[in-house]
Each structure stands twice: as C-alpha cells, then as structure tokens.
Amino acid sequence: MAENLLEVKNLKKYFPVKAGVFKRTVAHVKAVDDISFAVKEGETLGLVGESGCGKSTTGRTILRLLEATAGEIVFKGQNILTYDRKQMRKLRKEMQIIFQDPYASLNPRMTVGNIVGEAIDLHNLAASKKERNEMVRELLEKVGLGSEYMQRYPHEFSGGQRQRIGVARALAVDPKLIIADEPVSALDVSVQAQVVNLLQDLQKEFGLTFLFIAHDLSVVKHISDRVAVMYLGKIVELTDKDDLYNNPKHPYTQSLLSAIPEADPKKKKERIILEGDVPSPVDPPSGCRFHPRCPKAFAKCSEVEPEFKEYGAGHFAACHLLED
C-alpha cells in the first residue's frame, strides 16, 4: 500500500471582501471551507467541480501560492504551512503546477529552451550550460517535441504543443507532486486526449503523483485513480474512480455524471438538470450547501450540515440521505 505523499487537513481559504472608504473587511469569500483529503504516492486524484467551487484555490493553496486561512498541508509527513521562505524555495522543486492556459502561462519573450531551462538554473541542477541544454533537449523529447524547437518562441506553437512545453517546464526539476490545474480545458477536444495520455506516460516513467483538477467528470475519468467532487468550497464525495462512476452516492455527483454523453446510444440516461446557479460563497446556504439546487432535498437539509463520512470502503460522501 502506497504511503500518503500529501495530506490536506481541514483546509480553509477565505478571501476578505473590503468595502467603504476605509476598506474594512465586511465579509469573506469562503472559497475553500474545511476540506480534508490525501493523495498517495504515485496516484492521481481527480478534483472536480463547477467553476467557482474552490478547486483551483485548493491547488494554489497547497502550493502556497495562496496562504491558507486555516488547516494543515502535510507533504512527506511535514506540515508545510510552518515552512519559512527558504524551506519553501527548496520544496518548490518537489511540487510543481501545470496551468490551465498554455497561452498565458509561458513568457512570450523567452525561447522554449530558456522557459524549460529557467527552473534548472533556479535550482542549480546543471553543472554547465552544456549539461543544462542537454537536459532541456531530453525534456522536450520526453514531451514529444524535438530539440529543434529550443530556439523558438511560444507563439510559434499550437495550444497542445504549448501545454507540452508547460509539462516539460514542470518536469525540469524532477518533482514528486504535480498539480495539474485544468491542463486540458483550453485545448481542442481532439488534443485533450493526447495531453492526458502524455501525462499518464510521464507518471509511469517518473513515478509522479498528480492532483488533477477539472470541471468535468469525463476529463478525469481516464487519468484518475480516485476522484473528489467539490461543491461551493466543500468536498461532497470522494472515492475510487470506478466506484464513483458506477455508484455515485451524492445527488450532486449524480447530476454531474448525468451530463456526460453516453457513448453507447442503446444505453439511455436520464439527464438531471440542476435548477438555478451556484450560490455565492460569501454567504453559502445553511445546512447542506447544495440544498437550494438538490432535487432530493428535504426539511433537514436546509438546517443541518451533513457530515462527510465513509459509506463503504473508502467511499466518502456528505448527504443526509445516506445516514440511517
């Protein structure tokens, strides 16, 4: 059984809402509100939910690109929220991020060789320029780009190729954990599978651990070992991938799954349409946050927050319907 590489414990990330001439804090956006999960070494955990549910904030808070409001982020047994700058600088080598937008995340004035080589330089990973260039060449080849691209600039590449450059940059420092923040959402559907397959191949080759963030359950299906579903700052369900797709317990997960088109036209699936928009995380609904939109809500749902509990081996969910 693999060990936990990352443990997120009761993590909260609130953003203050300021108003008035004195810019006083009048409220908080509760983007991430008390979530806990672990990612085992070598596994891929998919983190899924509609936009604004807090999944990207979770990824950025784990990397400390945003400072947590409360909770613990335990990486290799150490709570990294206690780390000072120097310790964090060292740690950044082990935790990398691949951004959603391959157009915005690459410096347009730098050649691909320098974009990928920058991290090698920053962490002094090469003894000479020759060695550094050799490393860059190898990395580009690993992501399916020839070394002839080293002197080119990002605008000369397609979206899929740019995302490959982003992957090579993340790999340059030999990380343990990669947080892939919607890495294929900005790409054409035809290119998405290629990038997902590439990430899977690299995971095997380098023993990587992934937190794979997506807004769509169909994207994470292929790559994830387990999947966590987020709604309005909370994790509402977390389990093994097959279990989630075959036996979703939470009404929100059921509605997300019903939106995925069925490949086999003979299999009929009833689409569950959710009413209304996702409520504001400044003032989330009482009780179960999903209750204003839940087709199965009953009286207790608006009054009592359901506990996130285990219902069957490794299958966690937060819903009153599951309680006996």
* Residue 221 lies near ligand SF4 (rule: CB under 6 A): no
- Binders of ligand SF4 in range 163-202 (CB under 6 A): none
Q: Minimum distance from CB of 133 to ligand SF4 (Å)?
A: 55
Give Cα separations from 121 to 118, 138, 146, 196 (angstroms): 5, 16, 21, 28
**Nearer of residues 133 and 302 to ligand SF4, judged by Cβ:** 302
Q: Minimum distance from CB of 256 to ligand SF4 (Å)?
A: 13
Binding mask 86-105 for ligand SF4 (x = CB under 6 A): --------------------
* Residue 288 lies near ligand SF4 (rule: CB under 6 A): yes
Contact at 8 Å (CB) between 40 and 209?
yes
**Nearer of residues 3 and 323 to ligand SF4, judged by Cβ:** 323
Total number of residues shown for the chain: 324
Stretch that binds ligand SF4, among 96-104, 184-192, 265-273, 284-292 (CB under 6 A): 284-292
Other CB atoms within 10 A of residue 214 CB: 25
Give Cα separations from 192 to 100, 123, 164, 219 (angstroms): 12, 31, 11, 8
**Nearer of residues 168 and 229 to ligand SF4, judged by Cβ:** 229
Residues 236, 224: Cα–Cα separation, whole Å: 17
* Residue 296 lies near ligand SF4 (rule: CB under 6 A): yes
* Paired tokens of 124: 């002094």
Residues 35, 44: Cα–Cα separation, whole Å: 18
Stretch that binds ligand SF4, among 142-150, 191-199, 215-223, 315-323 (CB under 6 A): 315-323
